[in-house]
């Protein structure tokens, strides 16, 4: 008879665990994260939090290591709840930072599911909303010729650049059939021209980095490098994984940057374009 992998007691024939024991562990984990979330968001004090988490883990068949994972998960949930209004205030930032410092949570731990990156992005948007221009910390030399007094606000790496391409295809054409009427005389019937079918689709052009400044967008790829001033953009389209834009030119066709985070990319670039317009 097998032993339950949770409580260690007999689980019965052909069973590895008691269903109620597994459910207790799941419920215990949810309770630990919820408890950490309340403390990380400032709803409850952080004092005594580790004792509470230890008690829950011991009664839920969870290892001691689960306590630290719960602190990280709770911090991430607190961040997401603060971002319900898309803005991370200074008080909310201070609350999250204080919680992380209290328990020695590292950036790497907090970014396990991308939470720390979301916090950085939210802070940038909050700064822009308040009229302040954040400056990106770039630890390598950019292969770009920035203008005087131009500030790099954010840098996206591994960006896919797409352009709309138009294809024309002719279908249904025929030269017709020649019918002999008499010697030396033929009559051609059924001839007609092929009809054009025009299709448009976004095609991959290059991959590289997208540098966002307070004045322009810069793309640097292996085959293509260009700059797009905000003043030359007439409209943006937000996608789930990137942003599309249309230049102010009669022959310009839609262009797209796939960054992996459409919400942040669109909010960032639209905010900077609006600020640039206000300065002109």
> Which range among 116-130, 166-180, 190-204 shows the weakest confidence by mean pLDDT?
166-180
Answer for the pair 219, 212: CB distance below 8 angstroms, yes or no.
no
Average pLDDT in the 31-35 region?
97
Q: Is the pLDDT of residue 21 over 80?
A: yes
Q: Is the pLDDT of residue 175 over 60?
A: no
Report all structural domains of the chain as residue ranges with CATH numbers, in order of start.
2-129 (no CATH), 152-165+202-279 (2.30.29.30)
Average pLDDT in the 30-36 region?
97
Q: Is the pLDDT of residue 173 over 70?
A: no
Q: How confident is the model at residue 194 (pLDDT cuts 50, 70, 90)?
A: low
Q: What is the pLDDT of residue 87?
A: 81
User: What DSSP string runs through 198-211?
Assistant: EEEEEEEEEEEEEE
Q: What is the pLDDT of residue 259?
A: 96
Integer-rounded Cα Rg, in Å, for the chain is 30
Which tokens go with 240?
Answer: 């789930």
Q: What is the pLDDT of residue 280?
A: 77
Cβ count within 10 A of residue 123: 16
Instruction: State the chain's mean pLDDT as an integer.
Output: 88
Q: What is the pLDDT of residue 257?
A: 97
Q: Is the pLDDT of residue 180 over 70?
A: no
Which tokens go with 11?
Answer: 């689980």
Q: What is the pLDDT of residue 147?
A: 86
Q: Is the pLDDT of residue 271 over 70?
A: yes
| pTM score | 0.75
* More confident of the two residues 239 and 171: 239
Residue among 51, 105, 108 nearest 74 (CA): 105
Q: Is the pLDDT of residue 141 over 70?
A: yes
Q: What is the pLDDT of residue 221?
A: 94
User: What DSSP string runs through 165-216?
Assistant: EEEEEEES-B--EEEEEETTEEEEE--BPPEEEEEEEEEEEEEEEEEEESSE
Residue 207 to residue 258: CA distance in whole angstroms: 9
The model's pLDDT over 117-132, given as tens digits with 9 standing for 90+, comes to 999 999 999 999 889 9
Residue 9 to residue 20: CA distance in whole angstroms: 12
The model's pLDDT over 52-87, given as tens digits with 9 standing for 90+, comes to 999 999 999 999 999 999 999 999 999 999 998 878
Q: Is the pLDDT of residue 42 over 90?
A: yes
Answer for the pair 93, 99: CB distance below 8 angstroms, yes or no.
no
Q: What is the pLDDT of residue 238?
A: 94
What phi and psi, each to the nearest 5 degrees, are found at residue 51? -65, -40
Average pLDDT in the 187-211 region?
74
Q: Is the pLDDT of residue 208 over 80?
A: yes
Residue 17 to residue 2: CA distance in whole angstroms: 8
Residues ≥6 apart with Cβ < 8 Å to 49:
35, 36, 39, 71
Q: Is the pLDDT of residue 105 over 80?
A: yes
Q: What is the pLDDT of residue 178?
A: 56
Length of the chain: 280
Q: Is the pLDDT of residue 31 over 60?
A: yes
Residues ≥6 apart with Cβ < 8 Å to 110:
72, 75, 76, 100, 116, 119
> Which range among 140-154, 182-196, 256-270 shows the weakest confidence by mean pLDDT?
182-196
Q: Is the pLDDT of residue 137 over 60?
A: yes
User: 185 has which bridge partners?
Assistant: 182
């Amino acid at each position: 008879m097998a032993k339950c992998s949770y409580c260690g007691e007999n689980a019965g024939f052909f069973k590895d665990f008691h269903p109620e024991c597994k459910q207790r562990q799941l419920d215990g984990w949810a309770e630990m994260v919820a408890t950490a979330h309340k403390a990380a968001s400032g709803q409850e004090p952080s004092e005594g939090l580790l004792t509470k988490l230890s008690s829950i883990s011991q009664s839920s068949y969870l290892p001691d290591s689960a306590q630290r994972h719960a602190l990280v998960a709770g911090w991430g949930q607190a961040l997401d709840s603060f971002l319900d209004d898309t803005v991370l205030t200074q008080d909310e930032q201070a609350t999250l930072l204080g919680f992380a410092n209290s328990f020695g949570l590292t950036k790497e731990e907090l970014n396990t599911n991308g939470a720390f990156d979301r916090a950085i992005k939210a802070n940038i948007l909050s700064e822009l909303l308040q009229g302040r221009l954040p400056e990106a910390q770039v630890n390598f030399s950019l292969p770009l010729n920035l203008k005087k007094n131009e500030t790099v606000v954010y840098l996206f790496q591994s960006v896919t650049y797409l352009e709309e391409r138009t294809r024309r295809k002719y279908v249904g054409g025929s030269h017709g059939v020649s019918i002999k009427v008499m010697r030396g005389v033929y009559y051609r019937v059924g001839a007609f021209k092929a009809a054009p079918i025009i299709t448009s689709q976004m095609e991959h052009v290059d991959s590289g980095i997208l540098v966002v400044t307070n004045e322009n967008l810069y793309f640097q790829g292996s085959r293509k490098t260009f700059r797009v001033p905000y003043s030359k953009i007439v409209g943006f389209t937000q996608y789930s994984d990137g942003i599309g834009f249309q230049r102010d030119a009669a022959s310009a066709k839609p262009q797209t940057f796939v960054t992996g985070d459409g919400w942040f990319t669109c909010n960032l670039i639209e905010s900077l374009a609006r600020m640039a317009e206000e300065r002109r």
